[in-house]
Amino acid sequence: MIEPHASFESDPRRILIVEAEPETRELLRVGLASCGLLIQTAKDGAEALSHLESGEFDLVLLDLRIPDMDGLELIETLRTQRNFTRIIVTSPYIPKTVVLTAISLGVTKFMDQPTNLRLFRNLVKEVLQGEETPERRAFRFARKLNFAEAARTLEYHPKPDPEIVIWKRVFDRLAFGRSDQDLSEFSNDIMEYAIARN
């Protein structure tokens, strides 16, 4: 069932929560109950794909540990279908190699399954309402697998702090088809900046 709430009533956003555990799925749903969103839930990959094929969503909250397929497989399937819906991964203890693969597939936010609901809601709002900064434009290109344009967008960034430099190098490498192994030298920095901190 899709549930409308309060603060996005004039411009409702559709969120899909993909989570196998009923208690956690309900926690995430309740955690967004005051944000004025249209919320749909799925317990596994097949149900998630069915929802995504039947309608557009503004954001997917995805636990990679779904029972019927690997979470990365679900993301790969979406990208193959030219579906570039924004995704927040909500899995704890993600291996660095998995983070790198998820980033290459356009995932830009990672967080542990939230226990602090206020921070969780703020992260969702940030993703949905973020301004079109150079970083946002770059990740929009990256979600379309256009890594060369993503790197170009960051090339003349007005404030090239270490995070921006790291992402530009990552996009450069992905644009030239470098392997995950080649990206591994950046893994510690990527983890530091890519995983949302509580």
Task: Name the residue range of residue 189's domain.
Answer: 134-194
User: Cα dihedral sign for 175, 178, 181, 182?
Assistant: negative
Number of domains in the chain: 2
From 129, 149, 171, give the residue that closes a domain.
Answer: 129
Separation between Cα atoms, residue 37 and residue 15, nearest integer Å: 7
CATH of the domain at 104: 3.40.50.2300
Question: Is 9 among the domain residues?
Answer: no
Whether 121 and 143 share a structural domain: no
Whether 41 and 110 share a structural domain: yes
**Residues 6 or more apart whose Cβ sits within 8 Å of residue 82:** none
Residues of the chain with pLDDT under 70: 1-11, 113-114, 130-133, 158-160, 178-198
Nearest residue to 139 (alpha-carbon basis) of 111, 116, 105: 105
Evaluate whether 41 touches 97 at the Cβ level (below 8 Å): no
Each residue's pLDDT tens digit, 55-93: 888 899 999 999 899 899 999 999 888 888 889 999 888
